[in-house]
Amino acid sequence: MKKIVIAVDGFSSCGKSTFAKSVAVRLGYAFIDTGAMYRGVTLYGIEHGLIKNDKIDVERLVSSLEKIRLEFVFNAQRQASDLYLNGENVESLIRTMEVSRMVSHVSSIGDVRRYLTAQQRTMGQRKGIVMDGRDIGTTVFPDAELKIFMTARPEIRAQRRYAELTAKGENVTIEDIMVNLAERDLQDQTRTESPLKQADDAIVLDNSEMSLEDEMVWFEQQIKRLGL
Ligand code: DC
């Protein structure tokens, strides 16, 4: 069967990764969470003192990029890939509020985007991949055969993120999350380099009132349409 590239873009906390992961399992494709890569660079910056008191030393961060090795390694227990930063499993460290607060700023640095975009293109060269992010259908793979743009109402997205973080023991409030999401939406949509934008040929999936099962029923219709 012909393998394709599936781009899943959209706002933060819309359930892109959950959906993209299920799509990858359904088709036997690889799944790449590009947000994790931007988070990995952010974590490196924090750990090496290049991001301090909410300020980024852009010059030093950019000149350190070659030292930042990011890999995805499948974790059988989670049935998903964990991100490794220079050989260390950082999957939970990249999901904290501290990283979430700085990652949109790091991801608006052009050199960081170019560095990660090149790696993402290599990962998708052989097709058979589902990649989620903000600019996959517009910049990373503008020729992707299937582009999905996900969205959901802000209060629903905040509830989902709250449940995810509190389940991990993080002490956060819904208000903190609403503020963080609004800031990230604004930053993602207004940055100069590859802003978050629906590709002209993307299909919109608003999952505010949908379960994952509903989403997969919707997805089956899309792949039938494409003859996959
Ligand atoms: O999907 P996420 O929330 O884990 O993404 C983290 C941040 O990275 C988000 O604020 C936007 C940014 N990002 C990006 O700019 N481009 C991508 N392809 C993926 C994520």
Residue 50's pLDDT is what? 98
Q: How far is the CA of 218 from the centre of ligand 1 (A)?
A: 24
Q: How far is the CA of 184 from the centre of ligand 1 (A)?
A: 9
User: Which residues, in sequence order, are CB contacts of 228 under 8 Å at separation 6+?
Assistant: 1, 2, 4, 27
Overall residue count recorded for the chain in this entry? 228
Question: Would the CB of 134 count as within 6 Å of ligand 1?
Answer: yes
Residue 18's pLDDT is what? 94
Q: Whose CA is nearest to atom 10 of ligand 1?
A: 104
If the chain, 228 residues long, is cut into consecutive pieces of 10 residues, what is the mean pLDDT of each piece?
93 93 94 97 98 96 97 89 97 93 94 97 94 96 97 94 90 92 91 93 96 97 88
Q: How far is the CA of 189 from the centre of ligand 1 (A)?
A: 11
User: Which residues, in sequence order, are CB contacts of 224 under 8 Å at separation 6+?
Assistant: none
Q: Is the pTM for the entire model greater than 0.75?
A: yes
Question: Would the CB of 42 count as within 6 Å of ligand 1?
Answer: no
Q: Whose CA is nearest to atom 6 of ligand 1?
A: 35
Amino acid at 143: D
Question: Would the CB of 219 count as within 6 Å of ligand 1?
Answer: no
Phi, psi for 101 (deg, rounded to 5): -65, -30
Question: Would the CB of 15 count as within 6 Å of ligand 1?
Answer: no
